[in-house]
Amino acid sequence: MQALAHSVRDRLIERWHDTHQYFKKKDPKRIYFLSLEFLMGRSLTNSVTNLGIQDQYADALTQLGFDYEVLAEQEGDAALGNGGLARFAACQMDSLATLDYPAWGYGLRYQYGLFRQIIVDGFQHEQPDFWLNFGNPWEIERVHVSYPVKFYGTVEEEVLNGKKCKIWIPGESVEAVAYDNPIPGYGTRNAINLRLWAAKPSDQYDMESYTTGDYINAIVNRQKAETISNVLYPDDRSYQGKELRLKQQYFFVSASLQDIMRRFKDLHRSFDEFPEKVALQINDTHPSISIAEVMRVLVDEEHLDWSKAWDIACRIFSVTIHAVQPEGLEKIPVDLLGSVLPRHLEIIYEINYRLVEELKKSFGQDYDKLSRMSIIEEGAVKSIRMANLSLACCHTVNGVSRVHLETLKTRVFKDYYELWPQKFQCKTNGVTQRRWIVVSNPSLCSIISKWLGTEAWIRNVDLISGLREYAKDPDLHTEWKNMKRVNKMRLAEYIETLTSVKVSLDAMFNVQIKRIHEYKRQLLNMLGIIHRYDCIKNMDESDKRRVVPRVCIIGGKAAPGYEVAKKIIKLCHAVADKVNNDPDVGDLLKVVFIPDYNVSVAELVIPGSDLSQHLSTAGHEASGTGCMKFLMNGCLLLATADGSAVEIAEEIGAENMFLFGAKVDEVPALREKGTTLKGSLQFARVVRMVRDGYFGFKDYFKSLCDTVEDGGDFYLLGYDFASYLEAQAAADRTFVDQEKWTQMSILSTAGSGKFSSDRTIEEYAQQSWGIEPCKCPF
């Protein structure tokens, strides 16, 4: 595997090198994509596919006595991210390369990626993912590309050319060393760079300690520097103002900006041209400190006037918000920021002062509004609102689906939207068909190419709609069903190896895989399964014959400190234990929890699924990208009208999916009703079964049951339960009619074109970044 990877890497490096020479020669405007997380998964299969050398490699390996697929399976995932946000960043990199955009990704090279999930007696345990144990063959260490990153210290005033200026006297310096990861495009010579920074001790500040004789402490302090890039924070929504996290953010932002500015200065003398050559994309609010850093460099180091520097900053930055709730937006306590980055705090105060002065011109003395819009949040813990810093500066604020943008406009950033409506744009997410069809579902890939008579859809996915014409063709149906069966067989073998549960290929494979969150409502899924189990238990033999057999597959990680999510995982196991061993049920129902869900598990599960579930309470899922991968693979969707599912329904027709539940605009009123809102009797019955210990662990599950009863049902499981069951029943009825099901499946794939990240990237390039393709000649 290592040898194979290195051989492929050689091919990649040639292209990557040529691409960068070409970019250097042409000097186009570049997009720099700053993200604290990238969930790349495996690289081998994707690289070989994009380079177009899979057949040659497979043949060569056969001659050497190896099997390409077996070797490919050996590769571990690069899991430098938590969930949707990070995987979306990875899809965007693939599209940027494929569409020949002059792009760079910048992030952190964590030594420990997202934890590995181990299940012991049905409980989640976390194990460290030291993914670099055997080295990472895909990266190139650039020992000569390194920059010092400074922290702490004080700010002093100095007079320079008769003008007062501030200088930051830092207290600590850490070296950022570049590790480059080539990202090949498909059907092009272009390969772009994902540059990840690792922290290394810096020599600069140690000399004194050595000379004062404190040798041991000097060494220990050197080593401490490396901890900055050690570990990825495993919670994807709540950030508790931790010093290490702030240091991680500033570390990668500072190194990236030094790199970007060096590249710019190699060819340009004046920062006036900076916005013509540089676009900076902030992926969620995590890298927002880059705004203060650009201001610091331009004002303190390049000695530009404040207003000139601010004008430049406002023209280069755009941001994408992925959160839905204001609580999901990062805040940093003022004391913490002031201690770690004292000069940046001053700069943020200055930005805020000028912002508030400008706001007063529009809103007068409306202090409530001013305080909501301020970058500084007063309160028990005075904090910096990183989202407001981004809103104040960025020329574009992107939402990730239409529903999400509406939420940003009408709730989360209402005041800002009223002030600057032109900044707000919708860029519905997408996923790359290269990884999610070509690599993970080769049989489907061949079918699509055969029926369309071309492989051009792999670069131009709009062509996939051409399948609609054959949605009723019996020959296509036969091929489609065979493809699905083979993929189900692969998945069934995987399930049996992992869990010892044998599943029937005739059953409907019904899947929910994603991070475990209350708003994603895996609990609704479980309660639905319990209801189904309860019904089967109460049936006579003739009724049982009409039941559509189901394999219910669930996978996902819970943040280590998220108790409710961990209880949901335990409930899946407790129910699975009972159901899978009940002779009354047999093949009619199986429940499987797939441990350690990650990108490569998704690549196996998605092609083998019949139905996928996206159950978020309406208004809570910013977009969702898992649903797009299932859609491309012809799995039918059972979903709430939330996030991108609304747009999917428009593309494929609502009649081709199973929609249910309260709508976004109904949710607030339903919540108001609170305790008066009772779930159905069926709902009460299944919750009672859990409460009464039917699946064991009575005391442990009590608090879980409390979350959905007694007026505490914030995510409206009780309210949506009846329509959820109806949608499930509709899925059963359709599944019995295999012709209809297959037709819906084909129409799903055929309607998935809009949800390619290629479309998303084109929109970003044209509407936000103002960049043009720069295609390296072959």
Report the interface residues with ligand C3B, using CB under 6 A.
82-85, 88, 236-237, 284, 322-323, 328, 400, 429, 621-625, 643
- Choose between 256 and 644: whose C-beta lies nearer to ligand C3B: 644
Nearest Cα residue to 191 out of 179, 181, 202, 201: 181
User: Which residue out of 195, 237, 515, 570 is catalytically annotated?
Assistant: 515
Residue 156, number of CB atoms within 10 A of its CB:
11
Nearest Cα residue to 91 out of 628, 596, 558: 628
| Cβ 328 to ligand C3B shortest distance, Å | 6
- Choose between 329 and 351: whose C-beta lies nearer to ligand C3B: 329
> Both tokens of residue 322?
């992925």
The DSSP 8-state label assigned to residue 538 in this structure reads: T
Q: Is 629 a catalytic residue?
A: yes
Nearest Cα residue to 568 out of 529, 537, 605: 529
d(C-alpha 607, C-alpha 630), whole Å: 7
d(C-alpha 198, C-alpha 716), whole Å: 44
- Choose between 263 and 620: whose C-beta lies nearer to ligand C3B: 620
Give the Å distances, CA to CA, from 242 to 248, 331, 334, 497.
Answer: 10, 10, 12, 40
d(C-alpha 759, C-alpha 381), whole Å: 42
| Cβ 322 to ligand C3B shortest distance, Å | 3
d(C-alpha 590, C-alpha 523), whole Å: 17
Q: Give the contacts of 657 (CB within 8 A, at least 6 positions apart).
A: 636, 637, 638, 639, 645, 648, 649, 744, 748
| Cβ 232 to ligand C3B shortest distance, Å | 12
d(C-alpha 580, C-alpha 146), whole Å: 55
| Cβ 578 to ligand C3B shortest distance, Å | 32
User: Which residue out of 286, 343, 395, 629 is catalytically annotated?
Assistant: 629
d(C-alpha 330, C-alpha 332), whole Å: 7
List phi, psi (to 5°) of 523: -65, -35
Alpha-helical segments (H) within 469-521 = 474-499
- Choose between 299 and 400: whose C-beta lies nearer to ligand C3B: 400
| Cβ 320 to ligand C3B shortest distance, Å | 7
Nearest Cα residue to 746 out of 454, 475, 434: 475
Residue of minimal CB distance from ligand C3B? 84
In whole angstroms, what separates CA 149 from the centre of its chain? 27
> Which class for 562: exposed (0-12), middle (13-18), buried (19 or more C-beta within 10 A)?
buried
Amino acid symbol at 397: V
Q: Is there a contact between 297 and 254 (Cβ–Cβ < 8 Å)? A: no
Q: Is 322 a catalytic residue?
A: yes
User: Which residue out of 189, 296, 484, 514 is catalytically annotated?
Assistant: 514
Amino acid symbol at 426: C
User: Which residue out of 247, 322, 521, 557 is catalytically annotated?
Assistant: 322
d(C-alpha 625, C-alpha 303), whole Å: 44
| Cβ 84 to ligand C3B shortest distance, Å | 3
d(C-alpha 46, C-alpha 93), whole Å: 12
| Cβ 323 to ligand C3B shortest distance, Å | 5
Amino acid symbol at 538: N
> Both tokens of residue 297?
């460099």
Residue 765, number of CB atoms within 10 A of its CB:
20
d(C-alpha 416, C-alpha 44), whole Å: 44
- Choose between 399 and 679: whose C-beta lies nearer to ligand C3B: 399
- Choose between 124 and 398: whose C-beta lies nearer to ligand C3B: 398
| Cβ 262 to ligand C3B shortest distance, Å | 31
| Cβ 51 to ligand C3B shortest distance, Å | 27
| Cβ 321 to ligand C3B shortest distance, Å | 9
Strand ordering across the sheet containing 331-333? 331-333, 383-385, 376-377
Give the largest Cα separation in the chain, rounded. 95
- Choose between 88 and 721: whose C-beta lies nearer to ligand C3B: 88
- Choose between 327 and 475: whose C-beta lies nearer to ligand C3B: 327
- Choose between 37 and 75: whose C-beta lies nearer to ligand C3B: 37
User: Which residue out of 520, 531, 754, 759 is catalytically annotated?
Assistant: 520
- Choose between 376 and 400: whose C-beta lies nearer to ligand C3B: 400
The half-sphere exposure of 120 on its side-chain side, counting CA atoms within 13 A, is 5
| Cβ 623 to ligand C3B shortest distance, Å | 4
d(C-alpha 35, C-alpha 325), whole Å: 20
- Choose between 238 and 675: whose C-beta lies nearer to ligand C3B: 238
User: Which residue out of 625, 640, 734, 760 is catalytically annotated?
Assistant: 625
Residues annotated as part of the active site:
322, 514-515, 520, 625, 629
